Amino acid sequence: MNEKLITDYIDQHTSSYVKKYQFNSYLKKNDHFYKFHYYMRDNQLQEISIFFELNDYDGIQTTFTEDINEYEKAAIITDALKHIKKINHNSTVTPKQIKEFIKLKNFYNVTSEDIVVILNYILYHHGINQKSIDIFYSCYLNHFNDLIEQKDFHQCLVELTAIFDTIMYETFWTGTFNDYLDQQYYLHLFYIKTIFNIIIHKMNTSVLVYKDEIHYLLSNIFHYPRFTLCLLSSIDELEIDETTMNILINTVTITLNDLEVKDGKDTIEYIKGLYYYDLNRIKDIVQELFKSITEDIIRLLNHDMQVTLGKYFLDKYGYDILINAFALDYDSYLFSAFKIKDIPVEYHPILKEQLKKAIYYYKELLDYPDTKLKALEQIMFINRLILENFKDTMYKE
């Protein structure tokens, strides 16, 4: 691609228009020809895809599979060119080579930009799903282990940064009844845990000379509180010796002290509590974190990640946080994610009392037009919960 041509097009077409279609993946055919996949979601949260080809053989030329308005088209092309610009100079891998890599289950003589091109190649052909991620890491983990054995720790960090720059995003869609969160990082979580395990046990203190790379990588992670908490829960069982743990704590603490995260204050405070062994801080923050998790569960149609994270907190800190979260606003739909039958029986008496209070709370809201429908729905659902879980005792008290 002609960098001047790309830069000029981006400068000329940058506007305040907010595009509807979001980036999915691309296929690099050669240095001058790309295929792109963009998508959006409708009010029912169903995915609507659009594909187009882009080349610079004679200026910036595109061919779209669907007709879209010129403002949307210009915004999509500008965004696509920004993706190309990131990898334009340092990626030479071809589709033929990628096929061989996948067949051999390893990468050879690749740059960090090549890694991004390979990942996008797989996503373009197979979609953003667990199958695609499994294919990618079936190759990348072997390549990563080779770098570790060669003690090329700098390249490890550079490649991980490139991968995280690609997968770390969150796109919210508003539907008629629920919202939807598109994110790719959760699909990578198992493999990121595996990579962290390799790093922790194979890297030595010499890696700390790459402070800037470590700082950038950690900053990228911590800017996504949902992912940070999932990552913590997934590596909680790793066995780490005291020396390595102290190095890790010091490195993370330095990053946290320098970091300003707009929407992740509680997550950052929780991590600090863990690393400073401050149990009082942890107990205060976990309740707030669990509140955020339950809000996501109720709000989002695809909330598997939040349910898994919520169960982690319940197992680690006890079911009091669940009952307290319910008592905050009496949203009984919380128990559609965390089943009452899974709650230890010693918590049932206080839970029954809270359900009773919730019914009285919503009975008062029936008198107001703005809240009558919601109150009726909640009362019906609470009665259903009672009949399913406490019918033998609730109405005998």
Q: Are residues 294 and 229 in the same domain?
A: yes
Range with lowest mean pLDDT among 154-168, 180-194, 196-210, 274-288: 196-210
Q: Are residues 258 and 332 in the same domain?
A: no
Mean pLDDT within 251-255: 67
For residue 81, the model assigns a pLDDT of 94
Q: Are residues 277 and 226 in the same domain?
A: yes
3-class secondary structure for the chain?
CCHHHHHHHHHHHCCCCCCCCEEEEEEEEECCEEEEEEEEECCCCCEEEEEEEEECECECEEEECCCCCHHHHHHHHHHHHHHHHHHCCCCCCCHHHHHHHHHHCCCCCCCHHHHHHHHHHHHHHHCCCHHHHHHHHHHHHHHHHHHHHCCCHHHHHHHHHHHHHHHCCCEEEECCCCEEEECCHHHHHHHHHHHHHHHHHHCCHHHHHCHHHHHHHHHHHHCCHHHHHHHHHHCCCCCCCHHHHHHHHHHHHHHHHHCCCCCCHHHHHHHHHHHCCCHHHHHHHHHHHHHHHHHHHHHECCCHHHHHHHHHHHHHHCCHHHHHHHHHHCCHHHHHCCCHHHCCHHHHHHHHHHHHHHHHHHHHHCCCHHHHHHHHHHHHHHHHHHHHHCCCCHHHC
Q: Are residues 1 and 60 in the same domain?
A: yes
Question: What global pTM score does this model have?
Answer: 0.87
Question: Among residues 89, 124, 140, which one ends one of the domains?
Answer: 89
Q: Are residues 172 and 305 in the same domain?
A: yes
Question: Among residues 65, 89, 113, which one ends one of the domains?
Answer: 89
User: What percent of the chain has a predicted confidence (pLDDT) above 70?
Assistant: 87
Tell me whether residue 183 is in a domain: no
Tell me whether residue 309 is in a domain: yes
For residue 394, the model assigns a pLDDT of 57
User: What percent of the chain has a predicted confidence (pLDDT) above 90?
Assistant: 53
Higher-pLDDT residue of 396, 247: 247
Tell me whether residue 236 is in a domain: yes
Range with lowest mean pLDDT among 61-65, 222-226, 255-259, 358-362: 255-259
Of 383, 381, 389, 306, the residue nearest 343 (C-alpha): 389
Predicted confidence band at 186 (pLDDT cuts at 50, 70, 90)?
Answer: very high
Range of the domain at 70: 1-89
Range with lowest mean pLDDT among 114-118, 152-156, 238-242, 260-264: 260-264
Q: Are residues 345 and 292 in the same domain?
A: no
- Which long-range contacts (C-beta less than 8 Å, at least 24 apart) are formed by 13-19? 13/74, 13/75, 13/77, 13/78, 14/78, 15/71, 15/74, 15/75, 17/71, 17/72, 17/74, 17/75, 18/75, 19/72, 19/75, 19/76, 19/79
Over the stretch 323-338, which tens digit does the pLDDT of each residue have? 988 998 899 988 988 9
The total number of structural domains that make up the chain: 3
Question: Among residues 284, 317, 350, which one ends one of the domains?
Answer: 317
Tell me whether residue 255 is in a domain: yes
Over the stretch 257-309, which tens digit does the pLDDT of each residue have? 666 655 566 777 777 777 667 777 787 788 888 888 888 998 999 999 999 88
Tell me whether residue 184 is in a domain: no
pLDDT at 162 over 90: yes
